[in-house]
Amino acid sequence: MISKKMAEKLNDQLNKEFFSAYLYLSISASCSSQGFNGASNWFFIQYQEENAHALKLFRYLDDQNVDLDLRTISAPELEGLSFIGAFEASLNHEQKMTRHLNELSDFSFQEKDHATYNFLQWYVTEQVEEEATLNHIIDQIRIVGNDGYGLLTIDKELGTRTFIDPTL
Ligand code: FEO
């Protein structure tokens, strides 16, 4: 049993996770159209991960007997992202998600909703890994600068990423 306010906030987060998925799918398409097929693969897997984050919330809300409210997913606004720009925009987005999740975690704690607090710690920890991974990729791209061979080497490495559902 969770409060109405807590349920609303988790429902908002569910929408945000689906938006994240949509954002990364859009970046995947943008990378592909620029010939960065490895980065396109990397972002496609990121899309799948965000979907899994959303579905984990969906199952939790369903288990808590909440009437789900699936809302419109906004269109991502991406104009002319460069290779590094795609990862910088993603890091910026993940930092925002971290702030939202910390606020949610604070709220569940204030409400003494221990089940939800526990549930949210998975997301809070996941954010550390997401930000670290993006920072690492951005550092690598900065090291090679505009060197085409270096960029293609990084792109090739990004192409080796495979999907493993992080919520299982
Ligand atoms: Fe679901 Fe990338 O945060």
The pLDDT tens digits of the residues spanning 34-63 come to: 999 999 999 999 999 999 999 999 999 999
The closest alpha carbon to 78, from 88, 65, 64, 66, belongs to 88
6 CA → ligand 1 middle, Å: 19
Beta strands, E only, 29-84: none
Q: What atom of ligand 1 comes closest to residue 46's alpha carbon?
A: 2
CA distance 52 to 56: 6
Nearest atom (ligand 1) to Cα of 49 = 1
The pLDDT tens digits for 111-164 are 999 999 999 999 999 999 999 999 999 999 999 999 999 999 999 999 999 999
**Which residue, chain included where needed, has tokens 């990862």?**
87
Which tokens hold the place of 97? 């998600």
CA of 77 to the centre of ligand 1 (A): 18
What pTM did the predictor assign? 0.96
- Residue 35, SS3? coil
Q: Could you tell me the distance, in angstroms and rounded to a whole number, from the CA of residue 162 to the centre of ligand 1?
A: 17
For 73, residues 6+ apart whose C-beta sits below 8 A from its C-beta are: 15, 18, 19, 22
Tell me the pLDDT of the chain averaged across its residues: 96
What is the CB neighbour count within 10 angstroms for residue 117?
18
Quick one: pLDDT band at residue 99, thresholds 50, 70, 90?
A: very high
Q: State the distance from the centre of ligand 1 to the C-alpha of 17, rounded, in angstroms.
A: 6
- Ligand 1: nearest atom to the Cα of 97: 3
- Encode pLDDT of 55-79 as tens digits: 999 999 999 999 998 999 999 988 8
Whether the predicted pLDDT of 31 surpasses 90 = yes
% pLDDT > 90, the chain:
96
Domain 4-158 has CATH 3.60.110.10: no
Residue 130 Cα: closest atom of ligand 1 = 2
Where do the structural domains in the chain lie, given as residue ranges? Answer: 4-158
Residue ranges lining ligand 1, Cβ < 6 Å: 17, 20, 50, 53, 94, 97, 130
The answer to whether residue 1 scores a pLDDT higher than 90 is no
Q: What pLDDT is recorded for position 36?
A: 96
